[in-house]
Amino acid sequence: MGINIKGKVAIVTGASRGIGEGIARVFASEGAKVICASRSLTGDGEKVTDSIKDQGGHAENYKADIRLEEDCNKLVEHVLKKYGRIDIICHNAGIYPDYPIEEMPLETWDDTINTNLRSCFLLTKPCIPVMRKQKSGRILFTSSITGPNVAQATLAAYSASKGGINGFIKAASLELAKDGITVNAVSPGNIATESVKALYGEEGAKEVARVIPAGELGDTDDIGYAMVFLASDQAKFITGQALVVDGGQILPEDPNSFFRN
């Protein structure tokens, strides 16, 4: 039996662009019924779901601000009422404002933590009773190598939020393991999204690719297929882990060492 998530009901947040869009597209291509949660019912999110449906996949665009407890609860209620179950939640929504610590407004720090980390708790909490009743479930997060593995100046809030996610999955996995629920994350390296290109610029992105052993930025599909594996029945004995998908970026002790071979 091949690895797949055919027929599974999956919620993906932040699915209107970037890595979230890639995850949603891969999930749908592997047969999942995908509920794409974003802050608007129009715009990029609608384009993504329409495109998935045009390609024969099942996708629904749902408006939710995952920083708000009420919206997270309503999202879970909607999916349960319409589909009767929730097999996978993939919390991907995130922001990474670029500020030196001394110049960062408190509002920016709070918004980053609320969007990236607090929302993990807000979305996970109402899904737990559903998955416990089912005796199965996959709770997934998009973490990052930035924070848990490496650091970058001017991304302190983002780094803190992603480090927090990795701590959250460990504690949550211990609480839920006996209920057939796994809790894991994928930690992307530098993925070729519009946001990453905007952060580094065209030339900067080329320099980043130069120090990745694989020699290039990753694709959003690379993260999507890692998520598919962790969401599958075949990954039932994996929990509390963060799978690094970075083309080997964090491996070299000396960033230039692999050029010597």
Which residues are part of the catalytic machinery? Answer: 158
Burial label, 203 (beta-carbon count in 10 A; 0-12, 13-18, 19+) = exposed
Nearest-10 crossing angle of helices 119-134, 156-176: 20
Instruction: Give whole-number Cα distances, 243 to 14, 49, 88, 112, in Å.
Output: 20, 27, 17, 22
251: amino acid identity, one letter: L
Cβ count near 236 (within 10 Å): 12
Cβ count near 200 (within 10 Å): 16
Burial label, 225 (beta-carbon count in 10 A; 0-12, 13-18, 19+) = buried
**Integer Cα distance of 175 and 168 in angstroms:** 11
Q: Which DSSP category does 219 fall into?
A: P
Helix, strand and coil content of the chain, in percent to the nearest 5, comes to 50, 15, 35
